Structure 1
Amino acid sequence: MSFLRLQPRLHGPALLLGSALASAAFLLMGVPAGMLLGCMLAAVLLATQDMDVQVPAPLFAIGQSVIACLMARSLHFEVLHRVAGEWPLFLGIAFSVMAASALLGYWLMRSGLLPGSTAIWGLAPGAASAMVLVAGDFGADTRLVAFMQYLRVALVTAIASLVAHFATGVAASPEHVAPGWDVQLAHWLHIQNPVHAGLTLALVLAAAWLGRTLTFPGGPLLIPMMLGLAMDNLSPWKLELPGPLLALAYAALGWGIGLRFNRAILEHAWRVLPRVLVAIAALIVLGLVIASSLMFFADVAPLTAYLATSPGGADSVAVIAVGSAVDAGFVMAMQMVRFFMVLLLGPRLSRWLVQRLSGRNAA
């Protein structure tokens, strides 16, 4: 590492090589969002060595826009129709999970170990990468939010895989959710409809520009998501995200998050790790309680209920749901409703909780 520190021109190639190796390892192990996590890990390792590598702002904006379109593609018409028909159930369950995470975040925030609303966003049960992006718009420490979010995703994903194994007798393991390298490479390079892919790329670029131009909280995600929903559901064209474009997005987001870490932040995160682990464990238990109510009062299958109320990232939950004998549409609908609820109510809830705590301290 000292050699690389003396050779600044090697920092970029080192980041690329480290990202490729870490991503390959995660993908071989069947880890959900393996490329994003691999790039983030490589970036963290470089940042802890005080290496000066930065992600260009336009590239990061394009990455945000691609992730937003990826989420919009999951909200096809059938899912939206189901949410509209059963909206009290979806809103009630989504609000219960969000309220549980907010209470736990408030408890962690009262400890004074985390700045501002970082604890609230760190436990927000939405898509992890999206929550990290939105948290920065509201003054939270995105490095600590990323640490809490991805630790939560990793733990919840591992537990959900075990639950899927014992509930169905088929583990949500790499051989079930991750095909071989030849299949993966062919899938990532394949373009089903060049016209749709070209229009999607144009939408991504335009939305990225609008997201940077129109400055309002959550705009870089909400703008491309709304445009993507309109294109995918209201036009004759469909969102198509080729593998290289997804790879670019995962890399940009992973690097953008990971390069913000330094030794001081990691030492700080290590000090608060016990409380964070307790909060995540409590959130998982509360999710089980909510899933039980969904089973008894809505007659939802146990594994479907568990994955639908799981506080893990929506992407990792989707991978496990597809590889298990569950109602994947119901699971994704519940995850997306909760994501939108966190985006819409999360900022207000965070401000209210911070103000409440400030008032108590002043008294």
Structure 2
Amino acid sequence: MRKKGQWLGLLALTVLLAAGFSALELPAALLLGPMVAGIAVALGGASIRLPDTPFVLAQAVVGCLIARAASPAVLPEFLSHWHLFSLVILAGIVASAAMGLVLCRLRVMPGTTAIWGASPGGAAAMVVMADACGADARLVAFMQYLRVLCVALAATVVARAAGGSAPPHQATVWLPPLTAGLAPALGLIGLGALAGLCTRLSGGAMLVPMFLGAALRLTGLVEIDLPPWLLAAAYAAIGWRVGLGFTQKVALYAARAVPAILVGILALIAFCGGLSWLLAKTTGMDPLTAYLAASPGGMDSVAVIAASSPGVDFAVVMTMQTMRFFLVVLLAPPMARFLAGRAEARGGEEKKEEVKAEECLRRPGA
């Protein structure tokens, strides 16, 4: 009965916070609400934890969400500028990896957690994959959603300064009519759940529907429709999984790391701003289009801003954002393993040097 009361309290607080964040038009409000509610309940002494099955299903929904971004409409724009787009996106990914490595070496964040947390895009996907690969999903989520907020705020300020209008606020239709795209989505979610629950494939619940769904989308064979109620349920599961795992020690650790993480995020935004300037100079592209296209993450927010800003080439923005989304998801696991290994090796060498120095100091006559 006590646990039932905790779940009811968590649900009520989640609805309240998600509604409040949505009213403030914060990005990722439907995920931030459950996560903050979970943190509050956990720090308040709750003993509840989200079971594996709903979390695996939520991972599969995120995989479908990524696959849905692979629209056939982006192919012509991608094929005409693939080399330039790839160069700009890869430069942003390398900069984010350098930021993660610095945070790791400065011991602001531990090991692969810093690398996953610094990845420039796909926040929900990064949290899911980091959890599957053994990183601390709580700290990864903290870093990722702090970046999303900063990137969205920066993009809004730049768009307003360039003469863009405020993004229109549209009421969410929670129970839309059923569409033909829902059946393929549910099928992909089912396959993802099987991969997550019945195999040892790391992150399989998200990767299987992501790759299969993207292939089907790019061929134009199917549409993937994810109604708002399904996305909200998936975000709630991910947010609760992360939030309920918080402890006072983790919360204090995250709070102390805020200044260093903010410096890294602002440096990344500035670097991508420089890339957008080069992109605009090289191609003659509208500066606001280039800035939004090179923006490090926050794809949903960037899409809304681009759609409401006159003169912005929406196709270019979404092509680059979609490319970055997929490249980050593909490159993050090997990049995290490689950079964390380098950081740990360097840390081990430094530790050996410290031990040698201490031994020298203990010698007679030293």
TM value normalised by structure 2: 0.89
Q: How far apart in 2 are the matches of 1:358 and 1:241?
A: 41
1:83 is aligned to 2:78: yes
Q: Return the alpha-carbon distance in structure 2 between the equivalents of residues 141 and 150 of structure 1.
A: 14
| Residue 338 (1) aligns with residue 324 (2) | yes
**In structure 2, distance between residues paired with 1:191 and 1:234:** 25
Q: Structure 2 residue aligned with 1:66, among 61, 68, 88? A: 61
1:137 corresponds to which residue?
132
Judge conservation of contact 1:125–1:312 (CA < 8 Å) in 2.
Answer: yes
For residues 218 and 294 of structure 1, do their structure 2 counterparts lie closer, same or farther at Cα, with a shift above 3 Å needed? farther
SS state of the match for residue 117, structure 1? helix
The runs of 5 or more residues in structure 2 that have no matched partner are 350-366
Distance in 2 between residues matched to 1:337 and 1:236, nearest whole Å = 20
Counterpart selection for 2:28 from 19, 28, 33: 33
Secondary structure (helix, strand or coil) at the match of 2:245 reads: coil
The runs of 4+ residues in structure 1 deviating greater than 4 Å are none
**CA offset digits 1:189-241 (Å, max 9, x no partner):** 11252x43233223212222223333333422221112222333436432122
Which of 276-285 and 234-243 deviates more? Answer: 234-243
Asked whether the 8 Å contact 1:308–1:332 carries over to 2, the reply is yes
CA separation of 1:352 and 1:74: change in aligned 2, threshold 3 A:
closer
Total equivalences in the alignment: 348
Inter-partner Cα distance in structure 2 for 1:8 and 1:138: 29
1:263 aligns with 2:255: no
Label 1:91 to 1:10 Cα distance change in 2 as closer, same or farther (>3 A): same
Match of 1:314 in 2: 299
Contact 1:116 1:139 (C-alpha < 8 Å) held by counterparts = no
Amino acid in structure 2 at the alignment position of 1:179:
Q
The residue type paired with residue 298 of structure 1 is T
Report the Cα offset of residue 339 of structure 1: 2.4
- The 3 A distance-change label for structure 1 pair 332 and 215 is farther
Does the Cα contact within 8 Å between 2:181 and 2:223 map onto a contact in 1? yes
Matched, 1:207 2:192: yes
Confirm or deny: 8 A CA contact 1:69 1:225 kept in the other structure: yes
Taking the TM superposition and a 5 Å limit, the aligned residue runs for 1:243-322 are 243-322=228-307
Task: Please say which of residues 62-71 and 273-282 is displaced more in the overlay.
Answer: 62-71
Q: Does 1:117 align with 2:112?
A: yes
In 1, distance between residues paired with 2:75 and 2:214?
A: 10
Q: Is structure 2 residue 137 aligned with structure 1 residue 150? A: no
Name the residue aligned to 2:314: 328
Distance 1:332 1:218, change over 3 A: farther
Deviation readout 1:154-185 (Å, 9 max, x if unpaired) = 1111121111112124123xxx1x224xxx2x
Q: Which residue of 2 aligns with 1:348?
A: 334
What is the Cα deviation at residue 45 of structure 1? 0.8
Query: Which residue pairs with 1:106 in the alignment?
Result: 101
> Are residues 247 and 218 of structure 1, via their aligned partners in 2, closer, same or farther at CA, if it must alter by over 3 Å?
same
CA separation of 1:284 and 1:217: change in aligned 2, threshold 3 A: same
* Cα 1:312–1:230 shift into 2, 3 Å: closer
Amino acid paired to 1:83: F
What amino acid sits opposite 1:300 in the alignment? M
Partner AA of 2:170 in structure 1 = P
Work out which of the two has the higher radius of gyration on C-alpha atoms and give 1 or 2: 2
Contact 1:75–1:333 under 8 Å retained in 2: no
Q: Displacement, 1:143? A: 0.9
Bigger mean CA offset, 52-61 vs 289-298: 52-61
For structure 1, the residue ranges without an aligned partner over 5 or more in a row are 1-5
RMSD, matched Cα: 1.9
Q: Percent identity?
A: 41
In structure 2, what residue type is equivalent to 1:340? F
Partners of 1:65 and 1:204 within 8 A in 2 = yes
Contact 1:118–1:145 (CA under 8 A) maintained in structure 2: yes
Indicate whether 1:362 and 2:348 are aligned. Answer: yes
| CA shift for structure 1 position 80 | 2.8
Q: Secondary structure at the match of 1:189?
A: coil
Q: Note closer, same or farther for the CA distance 1:58–1:361 as it changes in structure 2 (3 Å cut).
A: closer
2:57–2:205 Cα contact (<8 Å) kept: no
Shift of 1:317: 2.1
Q: Judge conservation of contact 1:127–1:315 (CA < 8 Å) in 2.
A: no
> Using the alignment, how far apart are the partners of 2:324 and 2:303 within structure 1?
14
Q: Does 1:179 align with 2:179?
A: no
Measured against aligned partners, the alpha-carbon deviations of 1:20-60 in whole angstroms (never above 9, x if no partner) come to 11111112222222211111111111111121222221211
> Equivalents in 2 of 1:306, 1:179: separation in Å?
24
SS in 2 for 1:37: helix
